């Protein structure tokens, strides 16, 4: 009934408000450590140890946003008369699918141009990204495992298709 892609590739999510300060501190400390160890001609294992933490810091500060951009550009959404699916992710092959009859009521956020995001029940919060079930998901390309159609055009029309409301002409 409908197929689309995100019209925007929003890289900053709600979880990032908490993660960015932490990642900047991590990265700054890793750089400090590595510069001090290198300047003092420390043994190679200490230099390698510091380099690993610098590499992790680079991923935390910038790499996860690059992966999120790649995942967003490879994402497409499909709504049929029975299912809602999100296909994409970093590999382009991640599939999330749910029967419309099993989904909670849809909720939307809408911008002035009619585009917006569509979630089911509620938009994912910080608890989902940092919950024990999700492990390191907060640090990944998509901090939530919930089925959300992010930044789609004509979000109200898609919501109406999902709930089975006839579209207005």
- CA distance to 9, 62, 154, per residue, from 162 (Å): 23, 35, 13
User: Domain residues of the chain, as ranges?
Assistant: 2-8+76-163, 16-69
Q: Strand locations in the chain, DSSP E?
A: 2-4, 76-79, 83-88, 94-99, 106-110, 116-120, 149-152
4 close to 77: Cβ distance less than 8 angstroms: yes
Place of tokens 């585009």: 115
Contact 89, 142 (CB under 8 A): yes
Q: What is the pLDDT of residue 130?
A: 56
> Among 81, 75, 98, which Cα is nearest to 150's?
75
* pLDDT of 138: 54
pLDDT tens-place string over residues 5-57 = 998 777 787 778 888 899 999 999 999 999 999 999 899 999 999 999 999 99
The predicted pLDDT at position 9 comes to 74
- pLDDT tens for 88-136 read 888 888 888 999 989 999 999 999 999 999 999 887 766 655 555 555 5
Pairing of strands 76-79, 83-88: antiparallel
Q: Is the pLDDT of residue 65 over 80?
A: yes
Between the two ends of the chain, the Cα-to-Cα distance in Å is: 16
């Amino acid at each position: 009934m409908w197929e689309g892609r995100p019209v925007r590739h929003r890289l900053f999510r709600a979880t990032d408000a908490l993660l960015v300060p932490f990642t900047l501190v991590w990265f700054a400390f890793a750089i400090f450590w590595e510069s001090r160890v290198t300047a003092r001609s420390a043994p190679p294992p200490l230099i390698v140890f510091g380099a690993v933490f610098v590499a992790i810091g680079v991923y935390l500060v910038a790499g996860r946003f690059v992966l999120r951009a790649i995942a967003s550009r490879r994402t497409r959404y499909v709504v049929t008369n029975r299912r809602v699916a999100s296909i994409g992710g970093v590999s382009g092959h991640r599939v999330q699918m749910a029967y419309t009859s099993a989904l909670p009521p849809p909720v939307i956020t809408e911008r002035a141009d009619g585009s917006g995001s569509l979630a089911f029940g509620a938009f994912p919060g910080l608890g989902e990204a940092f919950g024990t079930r999700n492990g390191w998901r907060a640090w990944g390309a998509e901090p939530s495992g919930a089925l959300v159609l992010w930044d789609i055009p004509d979000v109200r029309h898609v919501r109406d298709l999902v709930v089975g409301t006839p579209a207005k002409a």
